[in-house]
Structure 1
Amino acid sequence: MFLKNFIFVFFLALFSASISAQNDSIIKPIELSKKELRKQKKLKKQSIQGTYSPLSPSKAAFYSAIFPGAGQIYNKKYWKAPVVWGALAIPAYYYQINNSDYKRFRNAYRLRKNGLVDEFTVNGVEVVSTETLETAQEQLRENRDFSLLSGIILYILQIVEASVNAHLMQFNTDDSLTIKPTIIQDPIRVDAPVVGLNFKIRF
């Protein structure tokens, strides 16, 4: 009876030791892998903070929305700011001209309809007919609206350009992404040179 109890206790101790050893062998690698993952995440965050700023595109778009060309200046593309200003100045200039001419013809048309003298009537003679005044109003209004639409489109495009440029500036472009033209001589065909194109992709 004593021998049976001893054998039972012995096997029970061995079984518990093997279970604890298995648990230790399973738990330790998981703990180590978690620590390594944390270290890798910290290193990735540090590297990302140094090269990539997720708020940069939104800042560039915000500055361009407040003042056209400011987003390009924020991206340090200073030469683009005068281009933006010139592009927006053209529709603004034509809008002002068409709007002022439209108001002139509209006032003249109203005065003439009310039997009053307008600026296009000289010494009782109508230099510009009533039909021409009406047609000119329609044409100038269309030109004015087109100038306004062009200015709005250019304003939106410069915001989009600043945001996209801020995105593209943060991509890591190293030597593996460049094109390097080289001349390789063929030892077999020395007399008859052959022109070709070869691409090499390195990972």
Structure 2
Amino acid sequence: MNELKKPSIFLFLILLFFWAGGIQSVTAQETSHQNKTTKTTTHRKKKKKPLPRDPKKATLMALVPGLGQIYNHKYWKLPIVYTGFGVIGYFVVTNTQYYQDFKDAYNCKVTDPDCKNPLAEKYSEETLKYIRDYYRRNMQLSYIIGGAWYLLQLIDANVDAHLSHWNVSDDLSLDISPVYHPVPVRNQPAWQGICLRLKF
């Protein structure tokens, strides 16, 4: 049962990480839409543009987990980053402890016929070997997932810094107009179509 919970918790954290980012962007869009509808044409407030962030600096700061998110002013991501590291750290410590316990019990059972280890007395040699290998695999997987989580928060800080340069203007519009082009070749019909112009 515990085997199924471990990957599920990590997957849940990753989905929470990206879901929260989507909620923030939707909330920002709703807020900007509400602001646009309440503004009058005679009195407009100037909107402060956030300063663009340096992606290289954000990545260097993200070498210490969470600092890249602080640099990008994405404070809401800090609990997600540190919760992920806390959960992964818990699994690393737990799996390492169980691995050591069952490894010692297996070595005791194999080398000493009068072994007094409680686990060695409780389980057979084959069972001890199976459990030891199980916890070793989980321990290694926890380290791999921890490394992947570390890289993910590095990439997140870098991408956020890159996206801070992306300026979406209020003049974003799409023009749709019909197009008619006569063909200069004799006996050929002219072609018609639709022209789409994106202005930003």
Q: Which has the higher contact order (CA 8 A, sep 6+)?
A: 1
Q: Secondary structure at the match of 2:167?
A: coil
Helix, strand or coil at the partner of 2:153: helix
Q: Following superposition, which runs of at least 4 residues in structure 1 exceed 6 angstroms of deviation?
A: none
Q: Size of the alignment, in residue pairs?
A: 128
- Residue of structure 1 in register with 2:150 after alignment: 155
CA distance in 2, matches of 1:178, 1:78: 32
- 1:1-203 aligned at under 5 Å gives the runs 52=52, 56-65=54-63, 67-115=64-112, 116-121=115-120, 126-177=121-172, 201-202=198-199
Between structures 1 and 2, the one with greater helix share: 1
What is the deviation of 1:111? 1.2
Larger Rg: 1
The SS at the match of 1:102 is: helix
Tell me the percent identity: 34
* Aligned residue type for 1:57: P
8 A Cα contact 2:98 2:135, kept in partner: yes
Q: What RMSD, in angstroms, separates the aligned Cα atoms of the two structures?
A: 2.2
Q: Deviations over 1:103-142 (max 9, x none)?
A: 0001111111222221225xxxx32111111001111011
The separation in 2 between residues aligned to 1:172 and 1:113, in whole angstroms, is 67
- Structure 2 counterpart of 1:103, one-letter code: Q
Residues 52, 161 of structure 2: 8 Å contact kept: no
Give the unaligned 5+ runs of structure 1. 1-49, 180-198
| Partner deviation per Cα, 1:14-41 (whole Å, 9 max, x = no partner) | xxxxxxxxxxxxxxxxxxxxxxxxxxxx
Name the structure where strand makes up a greater proportion of residues: 2
Q: Which runs of 5+ in 2 are unaligned?
A: 1-49, 175-195
Instruction: Please report the TM-score for the alignment, with normalisation by the length of structure 1.
Output: 0.58
Q: Structure 1: how far apart are the matches of 2:101 and 2:172?
A: 60
AA in 2 matched with 1:147 = S
